[in-house]
Structure 1
């Protein structure tokens, strides 16, 4: 059996790294509002008083919300297939090494959620990754067909229930404009003035608010099918062959679905039903549109985009760095600007932080083969007591 090691630079797929780099921009764009105010407990994604801030919120809501974490998930699924194929090629145990990878992600995610930021996604990826292993040997066609069923069917059923509730009593699906005032006020007080221990307790409260058992099934049904779609796309050759016709068809269909469902709160009204469809169907549809268009552009113009590619190579490190920087900017043990900035200021910070990450990543990967957190994770995965 050949030694099983991390992918060498020359063997990496540039399109995957570029898309990962692009996804980091979208993730920061979406997360910024949650970093600097208690949006977790607000009912609407567009809540600012000033037109300039509302315009920015609407832009993010339409073009980024619920579309970039799915993009991260899609690429995670594709990366898992690469991991599987390399283990098989080397005659090594995929289950052993991949389980170690998921356990490592779980540990990193738990530290991230408890001590840096409540919005961690790594713990979910790790847990759902174990479920995903069941489907990994499926064919590309079987993967995407089942992924669409898992993604669409439960959300259609939920939407029908909400529609009937709306038909019976429209007011029953109205959003509570003020959100949960008690939770909002508590978040403001703790993140603005609390001790590190109090902030940690609030982080865990916020994390549990989203990651409770009742929401667990919905998290699986939203993340798992994106893993499967990413795996299917890789098996179909999307990232290492020219699939222009498939990309065009996917871009057209997913773009049309995104235009319909993403805009529902604006065509109709913003309520529980339209918000659900916007996030659960419109968000992933826009993800597939972004992937398809991105691959078409990269294939046509053969773009290298080295700085963004470098950012994607260190996607795990950069994802965690975004949380570290922003919590130091906004939380009480840092500069304490929580609840104090506008959406315009937040957008400017996104541009600055992401720009710095792109520059630093480009410099870093000229000297080092892996990002710092990626290096630690690989040490854990490939460590062995055997001689």
Structure 2
């Protein structure tokens, strides 16, 4: 494992990690599109904006059961693994490059979040990166233990906050108003986004500030914990497809079966209750825990698929998307902003129902898989990866293959 300041070479890459990262960045969009296309309060109270009947309700159910929190968990674990892969475990390994990478990621994230989209994950990732790297020498067991402690701590905070909001009179009134906006406020929000890019930026910046507070307080423990566990999974060879196929298969069946079953029952109960406020702390707790199991199961299935040589042609597009994950993540924002924010964009905000959003996601998946595969036949990196590397290394990196 290299501890120098040289870039990671193509020969040093792991196809299994690239493929899982590609699947993660694509899966994230299925959840994120809701915040691009309609009022953000629908994350807490889905009926707050747009229709929830028929196909639209089924799309919400599929997103909740199979996507919500699962793919961001995979992405976070891979971010932690990537830190060990690049910096190494040697206590004497230089970390100046890592610090520059995180500083540039922070700068890019601030622009991305406050200017383009309030759902940015780059800022919390960059901040977490400064902390997570300090644990790179820990044993896998220690990483898992402290990771679970951090995850549990965040879980208690999040579930407690939701319980207080739904059960204690007056305790969560600001959040309740945000999730249950008046018609006047909703029309004002939709109107701003449909009017134009500049007209909607104040709303976006306010949303980013609110999101950052939640990420740094309620969600920080989960983010750090998942990254530490990602480090452990890399060190044990799990993420490089070194475990036995039978083990991956068993984990995949058990973990996905348990996680999806729990989410299935809870999502149905939520729909049946009309998203009753007093039930939301239960739904939050189940999703918080079940998403970890489901994500672990998803990763196991991907590792299993990474083994057969005959499936390499199937893996290539996803691995290519993973090698360009930074570019694909930012491109998703640009495409969604063009579609849903007004001039110079199309201003579809508040007009595309959940079923239409799912169709858009499928189209973006196909496009990014195809473009990533073709792009990397000509170029070494995606454009965002190249820019980030060049800024971090303080010199232009080779771009053409």
Aligning the two structures, in what range does the TM-score lie when normalised by the shorter sequence?
0.7 to 0.9
| Count of matched residue pairs | 378
1:192 to 183, 191, 194: 194
Measured in 2, the distance between the counterparts of 1:2 and 1:299 equals: 28
Contact 2:327/2:385 (8 A) holds in 1:
yes
- Paired residue for 2:180? 179
Q: 2:329 aligns with which of 319, 331, 335?
A: 319
Q: Deviations over 1:150-197 (max 9, x none)?
A: 21255257657977998999xx99988972236533321210114x33
User: What residue is the counterpart of 1:366 in the other structure?
Assistant: 377
CA contact (8 A) 2:56 2:354 kept: yes
Mark the CA change 1:81 to 1:44 in structure 2 (over 3 Å): closer, same or farther. Answer: same
Given that 2:3 and 2:86 are in contact with CA atoms closer than 8 Å, whether structure 1 keeps it comes out as no
Shift of residue 130, structure 1, vs aligned partner? 1.0
Q: CA RMSD in A?
A: 3.1
Taking a change above 3 Å as real, the CA distance of residues 206 and 166 of structure 1, as seen in their structure-2 partners, is closer
1:216-255 to structure 2, matched below 5 A, reads: 216-244=216-244, 246-248=247-249, 250-251=251-252, 254-255=255-256
Give yes or no for contact 1:251–1:290 (8 Å, CA) kept in 2: yes
1:203 is aligned to: 204
Q: TM-score, normalised by structure 2?
A: 0.85
Residue 329 (str. 1) matches residue 339 (str. 2): yes
Question: Is the 2:56–2:353 contact (alpha carbons within 8 Å) kept by the matching residues of 1?
Answer: yes
TM-score, structure 1 length as denominator?
0.87
Find 1:54's aligned residue among 48, 51, 57: 57
Match of 2:298 among 290, 295, 304: 290
Distance 1:26 1:241, change over 3 A: closer
- 5+ residue gaps, structure 2, are 397-401
- The answer on 1:77 being equivalent to 2:80 is yes
Is residue 266 from structure 1 mapped to residue 274 from structure 2 by the alignment? no
Distance 1:303 1:146 in 2: 36
- Deviates most, 238-247 or 74-83: 238-247
Alpha-carbon distance between aligned partners in 2 of 1:116 and 1:147, rounded to the nearest angstrom? 32
Deviation of the 1:278 alpha carbon: 3.3
In structure 2, distance between residues paired with 1:9 and 1:246: 28
Map Cα deviations across residues 10-64 of structure 1 (whole Å, 9 max, x no partner). 2210011111111122111111121111133553246634311111111011100
